[in-house]
């Protein structure tokens, strides 16, 4: 069986509402929901550890990521999304906003890892 290789220039044509599958293992990123943020604050209050070992305050998470294995099915919500990366602060439209059919969360995934079903 031939190994699937993805190039940087490969970008599939996606449409809103289309069912796609993950071609190669990738990571999806999503924003933290207000409920998760509230839970984080309650845990910090309960544990009482507002500071790390260096004495710096712990900041709440802003993004969560999840690894998607090949063959996982997702639904496209927006076919072209410009994502501001957490640390880069630059955006480009090589991402798609997809809905995970297992968890119900919306994730930003690079389009080159997706293929229409």
CATH code (residue 77): 2.30.30
User: Is residue 77 in some structural domain?
Assistant: yes
- Say how far apart CA 88 and CA 107 lie, in whole Å: 18
User: Is residue 89 in some structural domain?
Assistant: yes
Domain count of the fold of the chain: 1
User: Is residue 93 in some structural domain?
Assistant: yes
110 half-sphere exposure, CB direction, 13 A CA radius: 17
User: Is residue 48 in some structural domain?
Assistant: no
The tens digit of pLDDT for each residue in 101-114 reads 888 899 999 888 99
User: Is residue 5 in some structural domain?
Assistant: no
The tens digit of pLDDT for each residue in 25-42 reads 888 888 899 999 999 989
Hey, is 29 helix, strand or coil? strand
Identify the domain containing residue 82 by its residue range: 19-32+63-116
User: Is residue 58 in some structural domain?
Assistant: no
Q: Give the tokens for residue 87.
A: 């640390």
User: Is residue 39 in some structural domain?
Assistant: no
Q: Output the pTM of the full model.
A: 0.76
- Say how far apart CA 112 and CA 23 lie, in whole Å: 8
Using alpha carbons only, give the angle 38, 86, 24 rounded to the nearest 5 degrees.
105
User: Is residue 42 in some structural domain?
Assistant: no
């Amino acid at each position: 069986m031939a190994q699937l290789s993805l190039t940087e220039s490969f970008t599939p044509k996606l449409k809103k509402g289309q069912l796609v599958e993950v071609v190669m293992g990738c990571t999806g990123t999503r924003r933290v929901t207000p409920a998760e943020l509230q839970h984080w604050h309650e845990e910090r209050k309960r544990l009482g550890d507002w500071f790390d070992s260096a004495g710096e305050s712990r900041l709440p998470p802003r993004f969560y990521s999840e690894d998607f294995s090949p063959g996982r099915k997702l639904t496209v919500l927006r076919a072209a999304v410009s994502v501001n990366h957490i640390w880069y602060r630059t955006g480009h439209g090589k991402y798609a906003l997809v809905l995970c059919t297992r968890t119900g969360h919306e994730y930003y995934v690079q389009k080159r890892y997706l293929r229409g079903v």
